[in-house]
Amino acid sequence: MSAFSRFTPLIQSLPATVPFVGPEAIERQRGRKIAARIGANESGFGPADSVLLAIRETAGETWKYADPENYDLRQALAGHLGTSPANIAIGEGIDGLLGQIVRLVIEPGMPVVTSLGGYPTFNYHVAGHGGRLVTVPYVNDREDIEGLLAAVKRENAPLVYFANPDNPMGSWWPADRVLEFATALPETTLLILDEAYCETAPPKTLPSIESLIDRPNVIRTRTFSKAYGLAGSRVGYALTTPGTAQAFDKIRNHFGMNRIGIAAAMAALANQDYLKEVVLRISRSRDRISMIARENGFHPLPSATNFVAVDCGRDAAYGRAIVDGLMNDHGIFIRMPGVAPLNRCIRISTGPDAEMNLLEAALPEVLGKLAAAG
């Protein structure tokens, strides 16, 4: 295909890719509609009715650009978190913020530390800026804090990514260990503490806001995509010092936020009762997934997130066969980790009972078919 001849050498070296194949693309590829969308860690429980109302009421305002300062949302978040609006940067989901953070710090060839099998979209952004990924294997299905710290020091890395709770394994570290990690890092290393799943974590998993908010080398990322049920609205935020937060203003797409999404996020934040209710439903759904896994001879891993990693006890080919069987024969969309040894697991997002019923019925059929085949 004929492309412009003078893209930068870095761009020319990059593949055209997508960090995750979307469920719609899978539907098109397989020629089959998805019956249970429990693969992208979205929330099938959806947002609160008050959020849907806010969306419908804001529709008539969508001819206006959103406020490029995101003033109201930053005020609301600051009130909710007990911090200042100056500590908060808003972006098009955590994915968008991760791209910006990598751009702020990484020049071609610089080392970036993350876990082997950690969030692919972060790795995508690192590659996109020419960074050199330095990966540290998980230990016992958790990110290896000591290993990450050693890699940072060995490489003099300017950037390290750490998710707590973790995706794709659902594991977590207690707040005191996370705090130790953050404070042990050199001041010349920026920590991305990705807390996309913070709302579903057990008590004492999240360091307090104040414990890290004065550290210019720590950015915590959070989102309305998971427990708040607003993945399609694209609203995430970064928590850090005012000085570090201001760096986003140097490069972000100031008019990049959509006005309805901002209104939806504001309404979601205002309805903490619904959040509590949905976190309970997510917890029950995790239990249900775990039960289904055990009934099929699998080992569900403990989870602090809105999904469960299920150890199928064999190799990646087996996991892949289950993922494909569920989709191709039953329209059940799930995913799996991308690298060994994590990819002995499949990853199932929590969701309403209807989706869980489909999974419960389909999984034994898929496994039976696989056993018969081989």
Ranges within 60-89 binding its own copies (CB under 8 A)? 60-69, 71
306 binds its own copies (CB under 8 A): no
Encoded amino acid at 321, one letter: A
Q: Which is nearer to its own copies, 220 or 344 (CB)?
A: 220
Q: CA quadruple 250, 62, 93, 82: dihedral positive or negative?
A: positive
Q: Looking at 140-148, 185-193, 312-320, 357-365, which segment touches its own copies (CB under 8 A)?
A: 185-193
Among 85, 118, 158, 337, binds its own copies (CB under 8 A): 158
Beta strands in the chain (DSSP E): 36-37, 88-91, 111-115, 132-136, 159-163, 190-194, 218-223, 236-239, 299-300, 307-311, 332-333, 345-349
Closest CA to 58 of 230, 234, 266, 263: 263
DSSP 142: B
Q: In this structure, which amino acid lies at residue 208?
A: S
> Where does this chain touch its own copies (CB under 8 A) — which range of 99-107, 197-205, 282-290, 308-316?
99-107
Q: Is 187 in the site for its own copies (CB under 8 A)?
A: yes
**Which is closer to its own copies, CB of 35 or CB of 370?**
35
The footprint of its own copies on residues 281-300 (CB under 8 A) is none
Binding segment for its own copies (CB under 8 A), chosen from 138-146, 188-196, 284-292, 298-306, is: 188-196
- Of 79 and 232, the one with the shorter C-beta distance to its own copies is 232
Closest by CA to 350, choosing from 280, 271, 264, is 280
- Across-strand partners of 89? 238
Integer Cα distance of 18 and 209 in angstroms: 33
For its own copies, the closer of residues 142 and 226 by Cβ is: 226
Inter-residue contact 309 to 169 (CB < 8 Å): yes
Task: Name the segment binding its own copies (CB under 8 A); options: 22-30, 168-176, 336-344, 353-361.
Answer: 22-30
Residue from the set 90, 92, 198, 290 that interacts with its own copies by CB under 8 A: 92
Distance CA 119, CA 338 (A): 10
Q: Which residue has the tokens 């761009």?
A: 11
Query: 132-157 as b/e, with b when 16 or more CB fall inside 10 Å?
Result: eebbbebeebbbbbebbbebbeebeb
**Is there binding between residue 96 and its own copies (CB under 8 A)?**
yes
Asked if 232 is part of the footprint of its own copies (rule: CB under 8 A), the reply reads yes
User: Is 52 near its own copies (CB under 8 A)?
Assistant: yes
Contact 307, 87 (CB under 8 A): no
Q: Which residue has the tokens 């330095």?
A: 134
Between 20 and 318, whose beta carbon lies closer to its own copies?
20
> Rounded to an integer, what distance in angstroms lies between the CA atom of residue 21 and that of residue 25?
6
CB of 89 to its own copies, least distance (A): 11
120 part of the interface to its own copies, by CB under 8 A? no
Is 154 near its own copies (CB under 8 A)? no
* 354 touching its own copies, by CB under 8 A: no
Least distance (Å) between residue 350 CB and its own copies: 12
Q: Does 264 bind its own copies (CB under 8 A)?
A: yes
User: Residue 338, interface with its own copies (CB under 8 A)?
Assistant: no
Residue 29 in the binding site for its own copies (CB under 8 A): no
Minimum distance of its own copies from residue 329's CB (angstroms): 22
φ and ψ of 89, to 5 deg: -115, 135
Of the residues 234, 281, 335, 344, which one makes contact with its own copies according to CB under 8 A: 234
Told to check if 33 binds its own copies by CB under 8 A, we report no
Nearest by Cα to 158 from 185, 125, 137, 120 = 185
Nearest CB to its own copies, comparing residues 279 and 370: 279
Residue 259 contacts its own copies per CB under 8 A: yes
Residues shown for the chain: 374
Does the bond joining 9 to the residue before it have cis omega, within 30 degrees of 0? no
Contacts of residue 283, defined as CB under 8 A and 6 or more positions apart, other chains included, come to 200
